[in-house]
Amino acid sequence: MVQALPMPQVNAGEDRIAELEDIERLFARYQPRVLRLATVALGDADEAASVTQDCFLRAHATRAQFRGQCATSTWLIQIALNLIRDRARTRRFQFWRKVQRRALDAEAFAGQIASAASSSESQLLARERVAQVWSALAELSPRQRTVFVLRFVEEMEMDAIAAATGMTTATVKTHLYRALHEVRARVGSGQGA
Amino acid sequence: MNTHLTAQQRNDIALGTADAAASAHLAVCVRCHAEAEATAAALASFRLAAVRWSEQAAVRAWLPQSNRRLKVAAWPAWALAAVLLVGMAIPLARRQSPPPAAVSAQAQLSRDNQLLARIDTEIGASAPAALQPLQNVQ
């Protein structure tokens, strides 16, 4: 009787390490993810673009330290979070953040909805909702916004967010509650208007 | 009496971690259901907008890179153009400035003129230079 050949073993860790060798491919694959995380967390498109670039350069430069113990995206997010934390600490950024945050990207974000919604009325409603969420995020700390993005944009599980951010799951949940409180307050007030 | 969901229960619904009691209430309460729907729709719209925005921004970020590639790929054409320009410029420059041979001929002519002028002066003098002190004695 002929025995079935064993399936080739796919070593995810080695694949992940190999993925880091081709920086252009890595950039093309994960750049949007890192960029939107940085943009929402920092509220500054220029800083976010700079963080994104630094993130991939650092990932490539330190790829020898990566053992494939987690997903490549998780490792990149960890690098991005460190860079975001560093940027958010700088005095210059603290100053400009307050000036620019409200105006920045709220329209650019909401504008993306235009072609997605079917009727002009639903487009308008969707744009309004995006603007409401954006204004809710403006009231949160960078850390709270980061957790919010990882959960509601990247759709990561709370345990994964905790692992990526170094927070406990309870802390992640607390940040999410705070973010949702702000979102619900604005969406609710928008409904009543 | 119909009590509505608490803030924490609403948060749990948005997070997808609501318990059975909250889910059951949501099924029968129009107000809580509408509120949960509105929150979910806002979060979904924001996600869609963020993903689309970042993908467009990522494409824009790639464009300068593509331009750089085009410039790099076009370097032989630039090099050829530079060589042609230099090749055209050299004869022009040579035409404007006298060649080294012409420069030395002009210098020689000048030296000859100076020599002739000295000879003329000496011939025109009443006594040779070597005898001029004697003229003073007279």
- B66 and B15 in one domain? yes
Percent of chain A predicted with pLDDT > 70: 75
Q: What was the pLDDT predicted at A6? A: 47
Q: State how far the Cα of A113 lies from the Cα of B44, in Å rounded to an integer.
A: 11
pLDDT band per the 50, 70, 90 thresholds, residue B76: low
Check B15 against A151: CB less than 8 A apart.
yes
Q: What is the pLDDT of residues B45-55, one digit of tens each?
A: 999 988 888 88
Burial of A174 (0-12, 13-18, 19+ CB in 10 A): middle
Which domains does chain A carry?
9-100 (1.10.1740.10), 102-193 (1.10.10.10)
Q: Residue B7's closest chain A neighbor by CA?
A: A181
ipTM of the complex, rounded to two decimals: 0.77
Q: What is the pLDDT of residues A131-187, one digit of tens each?
A: 889 889 888 888 899 999 999 999 999 999 999 899 999 999 999 999 999 999 988
Residues A148, A39: contact at Cβ < 8 Å? no
Q: State how far the Cα of A150 lies from the Cα of A139, in Å rounded to an integer.
A: 17
Asked if residue B58 is part of any domain, the answer here is: yes
Q: Is B50 on the interface with A (CB under 8 A)?
A: yes
Q: What is the pLDDT of residues B120-135, one digit of tens each?
A: 666 555 444 544 444 4
Asked if residue B9 is part of any domain, the answer here is: yes
Asked if residue B45 is part of any domain, the answer here is: yes
Asked if residue B130 is part of any domain, the answer here is: no
- For residue A22, which of A46, A56, A52, A55 has the smallest C-alpha distance? A56
- B67 and B4 in one domain? yes
Task: Determine the residue among B13, B15, B45, B47 to mutate to test chain A binding: the one whose Cβ has the most chain A Cβ atoms within 10 Å.
Answer: B45
Asked if residue B27 is part of any domain, the answer here is: yes
Q: State how far the Cα of A125 lies from the Cα of A190, in Å rounded to an integer.
A: 10
Domains identified in chain B, total number: 2
Asked if residue B131 is part of any domain, the answer here is: no
Q: What is the mean pLDDT of chain B?
A: 73
pTM of the predicted protein model: 0.65
Out of A35, A180, A187, the one facing B57 most closely (by C-beta) is: A35
> What mean pLDDT do residues B32-37 have?
93
Q: What is the pLDDT of residues B13-27, one digit of tens each?
A: 999 999 999 999 999
Asked if residue B8 is part of any domain, the answer here is: yes
Q: What was the pLDDT predicted at A190? A: 57
Domain limits for position B118: 76-125
- B89 and B45 in one domain? no
